[in-house]
Amino acid sequence: MTRPGFWPSENKMPLLDVPHALCQSCRQCCHFLSPPEMTPFASRTKTGHIPVEFNPAGEAIGMVKENREGFPVWTCSRLNETSAVCRSWPEHPLDCRIYPLVFTLDGGDPFIALDTTCPYTVQNPLAFFQKKALELRDRYWNHWTEPQKKALCQQFVLDTFPDRILLLRLPNPEQ
C-alpha cells in the first residue's frame, strides 16, 4: 500500500507506458548481471535519503541470484517470473516506471538518459523521450530536496548504462 500523503493522484500513473507484451518478451530491466549496478535504487544498501517515489510501497526489494546458461543473474524479488508482472504494480519504484529513461552521471553531473538496449526505444522518436525527460524533471527532480538529490547522485555513480543517450542535464546539487 502507498504511504499516505506523498503522491498526488496525477502522479500515480506510469510516466512511460511501455506495452506489457513487449516487457514480457524481454524483461531485461528486471534482471541484472552485476548488482548493485543498475538495479532499482530501493534494492541497494545505504541509499540515504532517496525520495519515497523510489519505493512507494515501502517494501524491501531483494535480488534473487540464479544461474542462467552458466552465468549468474540476479532477478528483482518483486518480479513474478511466470506472468512477468511486478508484484508492486502499480506502486512499483520510480526508476522502474520510467525505464528506459534512467538517471545517470556524466562528468560528475546528473542527467536523464535513454538506455538504448531497451527494445521500446526504437518504437518512438528521440523527441518523444526528450519530452518525457522534461516531464520527469518537472514532476520530480524540481520538487525533491537538496539532500534527496545528493543521495540520488551517490546512487547514480553505480549506473553506467554504456548504451545510453544523454537527454537532459539536471541541476547539480553539489554546485
How distant is the alpha carbon of residue 30 from its chain centre?
10
Global confidence as pTM? 0.84
Confidence (pLDDT) at 8: 42
Cβ within 8 Å of residue 3, ≥6 positions away: 52, 56, 58
For the chain, residues with pLDDT lower than 70 are 1-15, 45, 47-48
How is residue 121 written as a grid cell? Answer: 526505444
Confidence (pLDDT) at 14: 54
Residue bearing cell 526489494: 61
Burial class (CB in 10 A: 0-12, 13-18, 19+), 141: buried
Confidence (pLDDT) at 167: 96
Confidence (pLDDT) at 4: 37
Distance (Å, whole) CA 70 – CA 79: 21
